[in-house]
Amino acid sequence: MPIRLTPTLGEQISQSPRTLFGGWICSGSPVVAEIMAGSGLDWLLIDMEHAPNGLDSVLAQLHAVSGYASTPVVRVPWGDPVTIKQVLDLGPQNILVPMVSTAEQAREVASAAHYPPAGIRGVGSALARSARWNRVENYLQNAAEHVSVFVQVETLEGIRNARTIAEVEGIAGIFLGPSDLAASMGLIGQQAHPDVVSAVKGAFEEIAAAGKPVGVNAFDPAVAREYAEAGASWMLVGADVALLARGSEKLAADFIPPRASGD
């Protein structure tokens, strides 16, 4: 029986009257992924770049969130065509590729994520969850409609090239990474620094001029709201591990007396 896939994040962004807010899943845990999926967040980032995730654990997390409305995005470790092919075959309809700083890099990412003649993605849909084992009608012919390919711009070079990156065919949108951007600006650990925020907002304008949606990572609520007002279409506003760390610290502070000086 034919299976109908859900709208991609790119489609959801284009149809939404507001910013879509998401949460980062860095724990590698399907249980935590399911808890996050049931929270009411619009989308979730399952991370392979800075989290203990391989193909098996990503698949388990995709299964865990599949019964919920939150849309999963998988961030691959880097723009390796083999990794992109393998991750797409796991069935996520949305991928994010980090550290893209030039239009040429973006073209290579787009090529890796699309079937010929548009790209070089290997054909294995009959064997893979991506096409639900050939239960998605005409998946090969319409695969580009079922996948949103996003790239992450997070260096000064990338900011300078933001418009040409956004203009690359096959790229659904740009996600900005203020943490690595701050480091590339000599402001490591200062992602809310006015110069970093200004650079991010400048990229917003360039990407919008290319007709592509722009997203950004912003855990500081005030900065997140500022970015939303400036035109961010989709944002990450928290992470599972950070929520657990801060929540457990609060428990300790609430219930455990402070140690006396000299203990």
- Which domains does the chain possess? 9-242 (3.20.20.60)
Catalytic positions are 50
Q: Are the beta carbons of 36 and 63 closer than 8 angstroms?
A: no
pLDDT at 263: 59
Can you tell me the distance from the alpha carbon of 150 to that of 10, in angstroms, rounded to the nearest whole number? 9
Taking residue 247's Cβ as centre, other Cβ atoms within 10 Å add up to: 10
Can you tell me the distance from the alpha carbon of 37 to that of 190, in angstroms, rounded to the nearest whole number? 29
Q: What is the pTM of this model?
A: 0.95
Summarised one tens digit per residue, pLDDT across range 211-262 is 999 999 999 999 999 999 999 999 999 999 999 999 999 999 999 998 876 6
Can you tell me the distance from the alpha carbon of 203 to that of 208, in angstroms, rounded to the nearest whole number? 8
pLDDT at 262: 63
Can you tell me the distance from the alpha carbon of 32 to that of 29, in angstroms, rounded to the nearest whole number? 5
